[in-house]
Amino acid sequence: MMKEIKLLKNRSDIGAGTRGADLGIDAIEIAAINQNHNYFNRYLHEDVETENESIYNKVKNSFAKRIGSVVNVCSRVSECVHKNIEANSYPIVLSGDHSSALGTMSGVKAAHSDKKLGVIWVDAHADLHSPYTSPSGNVHGMPLAAGLSIDNMTHQINEVPEETALHWKNLKNIGVDGKKLEASELIYFGVRDTEAPEDACMKAHDIKNYTVDEIRFRGMNACLDEAVQKLSSCDVIYISFDVDSLDCDRISKGTGTPVPRGFDTDEVIEIINTFIRTGKTACFEVVEVNPTLDTENRMAIAAFEVLNAVTSVIEEVHLG
């Protein structure tokens, strides 16, 4: 049993192409406050130092924008997650953009370096680009490529300068050197907006993606039973929830890259809590709420609904 839940707040949005995700954590807190909920008074929290001021600097690495600062932030997130797991806490990471997930998974792996890590990625996007393949240069589209240590050079479109390549190498070596997990230990839920290099990478590495349509056609229970079995050999599981996995037309467009035909909140809660109940999870993460793109704080309200429901099961399973 773990002794406590610890909220780790990382208000960084430098990996995104649109500003505003740095305000997402505060928007989620406001959603809780407006419901007269004491969630954010219930748990200790720790703030991760950001480098959001780097937004004002001229972009030097156009194929991986602000990657030097992303490396610094991910290193801090990794150290924070690692430290809290070793202190027998269960970290719930609340982040701005998704680039910092590389830091989260690196911290989980560093704390369990001798164990097999599985990753559940609830997201509209595959986040499998590298500086060599990215059409945008936004690092929030790269955390899983870094975690898997995949450059995908067979689908290279960018001539990456030496400085960028060095930062990319440093990003891949945060926490522990090299890959944090095998591709067979990664499962997607809800990915539906990808580019050709990512599609090729998913196919080459046989990475499973449970689409919204598949889950609704086959049934949630059948898909989740199969997914749990796929990760049965993993000792530790980390779950990352990007709010753009939710249906932007029915719920909110309050995220940097909204995509229609997504999940509803009940579906996301069921997916995540199924893996929490295995007793193997070591960390849960919520990312990419952007209230500057929202109406009436709807995305933060949805994110808090998921966060609160999942936290209750984390307490039940891990704190007894």
Name the percent of the chain lying above pLDDT 90: 98
Yes or no: say if 75 and 45 are a contact pair by the CB < 8 Å rule. no
Whether the predicted pLDDT of 35 surpasses 90: yes
Q: pLDDT per residue over 186-222, tens digit each?
A: 999 999 999 999 999 999 999 999 999 999 999 999 9
- Kindly give, in sequence order, each residue whose CB lies less than 8 Å from that of residue 50, ignoring residues fewer than 6 positions away: 10, 11, 12, 14, 22, 73, 96
- Beta bridge partners, 32, equal none
Does a structural domain hold residue 59?
yes
Does a structural domain hold residue 149?
yes
Helix/strand/coil for 282:
strand
- The Cα–Cα gap between 198 and 177 comes to 23
Does a structural domain hold residue 230?
no
* Residues 95-118, mean pLDDT to the nearest whole number: 98
* Residues 227-247, mean pLDDT to the nearest whole number: 99
pLDDT averaged over every residue in the chain: 98
Name the percent of the chain lying above pLDDT 70: 100
Instruction: Provide φ and ψ at 238, rounded to 5°.
Output: -120, 135
Yes or no: say if 50 and 10 are a contact pair by the CB < 8 Å rule. yes
Three-state secondary structure string covering 135-181: CCCCHHHCHHHHHHCCCCHHHCCCCCCHHHHHHHHHHHCCCCCCCCC
Q: What is the pLDDT of residue 198?
A: 98
Whether the predicted pLDDT of 1 surpasses 90: no
Does a structural domain hold residue 56?
yes
Whether the predicted pLDDT of 133 surpasses 80: yes
pTM over 0.95: yes
* Residues 75-92, mean pLDDT to the nearest whole number: 98
Half-sphere exposure of 139 (CA within 13 A, CB side): 31
CATH code of residue 54: 3.40.800.10
Q: What is the pLDDT of residue 284?
A: 99
- What is the gyration radius of the CA atoms in the chain, in angstroms? 18
- The Cα–Cα gap between 187 and 1 comes to 26
Does a structural domain hold residue 132?
yes
Does a structural domain hold residue 228?
no
- Which pair of tokens denotes residue 48? 């991760």
Q: What is the pLDDT of residue 286?
A: 99
Q: Predicted confidence band at 94 (pLDDT cuts at 50, 70, 90)?
A: very high
- Which pair of tokens denotes residue 4? 């406590």
* Residues 127-137, mean pLDDT to the nearest whole number: 98
Does a structural domain hold residue 196?
yes
Q: What is the pLDDT of residue 162?
A: 97
Q: Predicted confidence band at 2 (pLDDT cuts at 50, 70, 90)?
A: confident
Yes or no: say if 310 and 269 are a contact pair by the CB < 8 Å rule. yes
Range of the domain at 253: 4-222+242-319
Does a structural domain hold residue 153?
yes
Half-sphere exposure of 108 (CA within 13 A, CB side): 29
Give how many domains the chain has, as a whole number.
1
Longest dimension (CA), the chain: 53
Q: What is the pLDDT of residue 60?
A: 85
Q: What is the pLDDT of residue 320?
A: 80
